[in-house]
Amino acid sequence: MKNKYIIGGFIIVLFLGIMGYLFTQSNIKYENNLALVKSTHKTVKATGSWVKEKKYTYDSENNLFQFYMKDDKGEEMLVVYRGAMPNNFESATSVVVTGSYQDNYFYAKDILTKCPSKYQEQPAAQSSSL
């Protein structure tokens, strides 16, 4: 029975070790306080809502989509996303952006929009990449 435990144990320990390491390195926290998001360069999933008064822009030449989001305390930040406006964006009430805060804007790798309208349960849409 020894061989079984040595080989099996070795693989499990090795990969769980690498996994544990990668997990602590690359795990991303959900953060709904934008002041905290702005204070770090770490990759986070910032949650908040789109500031409708400040319109979004899409620069098709550079394929950059920009908009402002704010948290429930009113803290705002500019979000820049390389890609097109996600489906559902205009009707979204809450937005989850994954990325990190650079000098004066949030560079999003991924945008997830949620539309829990008062009247309709709506599906979420994501602009996803692989």
| String of contacts with another protein for each residue 98-127, x by CB under 8 A | x-------------x-xx-xxxxxxxxxx-
**What's the N-to-C CA distance of the chain in angstroms?**
42
User: What is the Cβ-side half-sphere exposure of residue 90, based on CA atoms within 13 angstroms?
Assistant: 4
In the complex, minimum distance from the CB of residue 66 to another protein, in angstroms, rounded to a whole number = 14
* Shortest distance in whole angstroms from residue 81 CB to another protein: 12
CB atoms under 10 Å from CB of 84, counted, come to: 13
Answer yes or no: are the C-beta atoms of 95 and 66 closer than 8 Å. no
Q: Does 1 help bind another protein (rule: CB under 8 A)?
A: yes
x/- site string to another protein, residues 71 to 100, per CB under 8 A? ------------xxx-xxxxx----x-x--
Which positions lie near another protein, rule CB under 8 A? 1-4, 7-8, 11-12, 15-16, 18-19, 22-23, 26-30, 43, 45, 47, 58, 60-61, 63, 83-85, 87-91, 96, 98, 112, 114-115, 117-126, 128-130
